[in-house]
Structure 1
Amino acid sequence: MILTVTPNPSLDRTYEVPSLERGAVLRATGDRVDPGGKGVNVSRAVAAAGVFTTAVLPLGGAPGALIAKLLGLQGVDVTAVTIAGQTRSNIALVERDGTLTKINAPGPELTAEESALLLETAGTATGRPEWIAACGSLPRGLPSEWYADLVARARESGTRVALDTSGPALTAALPARPDLIKPNATELAQAVGRPLATLGEVTRAAQELRSRGAGAVLASLGVDGQLLVSAEGTYHGTAPVTAVRSDVGAGDASLAGFLIAGGTGAKALASALAHGAAAVQLPGSAMPTPADLHPEAVHITENPPAALHLSAPALP
């Protein structure tokens, strides 16, 4: 079982438009509504793979109620912390060429009592999870150290933690020793405070974060694939994509693929790549099912060439 924690969930509305023209009336060619938030998406992808998952999240107002209903319909067990504020709604506009424009609301401000209850609920949810995936931004009212507290509590109980966040929340959590972190290239560059232009520089940045507490680093590099740096070794992988329809939630699907494949080594990296490649070819933030995956197309290299340049340098 995989338990996810999403402190700042959302109701995601995605509209497909021919092109984005400022000041014009746009007529959508397609639209969908999905429960959103990084951890929520991980749970959705895990459930789509036929693995049991529980999503712990604060919910409030009509958007929160709809999120719980939609997750239940997708086979996700929901453990909700009721909050006074209203859960945020986000908007994504996807153009015909795959260009994505997102409008993310800030979300409600959680009280100190709601923050403490969410932390307590994450540690007492039913079941014995193999992994806790703690994902996304922190809402107003939660301190930067909130994830650090969550990681420390999970480690005390012997549960592995995958952390997918950025900025101060990520750096504050490193001393608590999360088993896995999943930054993208920009987030990794921000964490080490320098630009990253080659696989070698990405690898050294990942090793630096491991020296600061992370057990393993799974770095998403966009069109350049993913890089896994762990005690087992360094692996780089790519997966072909025929056409990008929407990359909303693709990184979350990738993390789900990594965790359901054991959360360690080249096999898990291959699963992550297959899930991520499948997700970007689906509409909105739809999560891939096993029928959408093409693991035979994934290519993995151990100890990749350090001089290999990224398609676009990542800046801090």
Structure 2
Amino acid sequence: MVTVSLNSAIDHTLDCPGFTAGAVNRVVSETRTAGGKAINVAAFLSGGASPVTATGFLGRDNAQVFEALFRERGIQDRCMRLPGSSRVNIKVVDRAGGAVTDLNLPGLRVPDGAMELLTEKVEGLADDNGCFVLAGSLPAGVPEDAYATLTARLRARGALVAVDTSGAPLRHAVAARPDFVKPNAHELSELLGRPLPDRAEVVRAARELHATGIALVVVSLGADGAIFVAREGVLLAVPPRVEVASTVGAGDAMVSGVLAARLAGSDLETCARRATAFAAGKLARVGPVAPPPERVEELMRGVAIHSLGSA
């Protein structure tokens, strides 16, 4: 398993009860964790049956946070170091009010030639790895079709490719027919260029995307669960109620659950249960920490599955 992170981030989470803009606020605790969608997926899947490799770009000036995560989780580090710092995302969490305020700082500008070198590195990793996750936004200096290019080259080598991004990078990527995509409802609406005012419209849109040749389409609906569309049919998976410490990384946990289930040969219902349980279990934790297996099994039993017909 290889995760490709082109715009890695450090998530700086501040626990600030009663946060009020324009006022003096008191932070009671803080955490700094290596993040970005692909880094989170690598962290969630580390320690599993298959080894995990992380590649992509890291800023040399603050790479230590990522290196510490890789050492702790046993993730093979094949990331390229670039001059400067990886971006920092500040999350101000008011648990009492149930609100999270995001302050996203600018990140790296990728120099000329670096993306070509990374593409060669990723293709080389396909010699020994059969599954790739391309996830997250794109930094300055990387073309909008970067994920599409990587998808086409990796699929030509017989690899399974999962993509989790949004906007123009997603639009280009779906044209290259990855095996699995996971937009949320807003991202799917943006992709198709029309509003999706209710669940029926979201399901119709997910079916359309699947019909273009993408084997598995998962549309996350936040607390309302997720829609899973594959050859086996269309399912709605609704999670049980859980305590929420942080929503950061819940979508990445869902991607991880999908891949863990699919690579184990699970059917669509088991995949939907495991992915939804992974995401629900992560909500109780800050940072890319997967829930323990016994908690995943407990949550899987609490996931409600509704059949919505054929694909």
Residue 49 of structure 1 and its aligned partner are, at CA, apart by 4.6
Match of 1:270 in 2: 273
- Is the partner of 1:261 in helix, strand or coil? helix
Match of 2:30 in 1: 31
Deviations 1:228-270 (A, max 9, x none): 1122211110111222111000110111011011156221111
> Mean Cα displacement is larger for which, 247-256 or 15-24?
15-24
Match of 2:217 in 1: 217
1:53 and 1:241 map into 2 onto residues whose CA distance is 31
> Mean Cα displacement is larger for which, 131-140 or 257-266?
257-266
Residue 275 of structure 1 and its aligned partner are, at CA, apart by 0.4
Residue 160 of structure 1 and its aligned partner are, at CA, apart by 0.6
Residue 148 of structure 1 and its aligned partner are, at CA, apart by 0.5
Asked which structure has the greater RCO (Cα within 8 Å, sep 6+), the reply is 1
- Alpha-carbon contact 1:183-1:220 (below 8 Å) kept: yes
Deviations 1:114-151 (A, max 9, x none): 11112222221376334211000011111111000000
Root mean square deviation of aligned Cα? 1.9
1:167-178 equivalences in 2 (<5 Å): 167-178=167-178
Residue 56 of structure 1 and its aligned partner are, at CA, apart by 0.8
1:48 and 1:238 map into 2 onto residues whose CA distance is 27
Match of 2:301 in 1: 296
- Alpha-carbon contact 1:57-1:80 (below 8 Å) kept: yes
2:40 and 2:145 map into 1 onto residues whose CA distance is 23
> Mean Cα displacement is larger for which, 90-99 or 177-186?
90-99
Whether 1:111 aligns to 2:116 is no
- Is the partner of 1:162 in helix, strand or coil? strand
With normalisation by structure 2, the TM-score equals 0.92
Match of 1:226 in 2: 226
- Alpha-carbon contact 1:262-1:268 (below 8 Å) kept: yes
Match of 1:309 in 2: none
Match of 1:206 in 2: 206
Match of 2:236 in 1: 236
Mark the CA change 1:48 to 1:247 in structure 2 (over 3 Å): closer, same or farther: farther
Residue 68 of structure 1 and its aligned partner are, at CA, apart by 1.8
Residue 48 of structure 1 and its aligned partner are, at CA, apart by 5.1
- Alpha-carbon contact 1:17-1:27 (below 8 Å) kept: yes
1:112 and 1:136 map into 2 onto residues whose CA distance is 20
Match of 1:158 in 2: 158
- Is the partner of 2:63 in helix, strand or coil? helix
Match of 1:197 in 2: 197
Deviations 1:19-55 (A, max 9, x none): 2111333222222111100000001110155642111
Mark the CA change 1:73 to 1:138 in structure 2 (over 3 Å): closer, same or farther: same
Structure 2, gaps ≥5 residues long = none
- Alpha-carbon contact 1:88-1:105 (below 8 Å) kept: yes
> Mean Cα displacement is larger for which, 232-241 or 119-128?
119-128
Q: What one-letter code is carried by the residue in structure 2 that aligns with 1:182?
A: K
Q: What one-letter code is carried by the residue in structure 2 that aligns with 1:70?
A: L
1:1-316 equivalences in 2 (<5 Å): 2-47=1-46, 49=48, 51-97=50-96, 98-125=98-125, 128-262=128-262, 265-293=268-296, 294-303=299-308
1:175 and 1:242 map into 2 onto residues whose CA distance is 37
Q: What one-letter code is carried by the residue in structure 2 that aligns with 1:303?
A: L
Residue 304 of structure 1 and its aligned partner are, at CA, apart by 6.3
- Alpha-carbon contact 2:123-2:154 (below 8 Å) kept: yes
- Alpha-carbon contact 2:5-2:36 (below 8 Å) kept: yes
Aligned structure 1 segments of 4 or more residues deviating by more than 3 angstroms: 48-51, 284-287
- Alpha-carbon contact 2:242-2:280 (below 8 Å) kept: no
- Alpha-carbon contact 1:106-1:139 (below 8 Å) kept: no
Q: What one-letter code is carried by the residue in structure 2 that aligns with 1:226?
A: A
Mark the CA change 1:46 to 1:244 in structure 2 (over 3 Å): closer, same or farther: same
- Alpha-carbon contact 1:236-1:303 (below 8 Å) kept: yes
- Is the partner of 2:262 in helix, strand or coil? coil
1:48 and 1:91 map into 2 onto residues whose CA distance is 28
- Alpha-carbon contact 2:223-2:239 (below 8 Å) kept: no
Structure 1, gaps ≥5 residues long = 306-316
- Alpha-carbon contact 1:35-1:71 (below 8 Å) kept: no
> Mean Cα displacement is larger for which, 285-294 or 257-266?
285-294
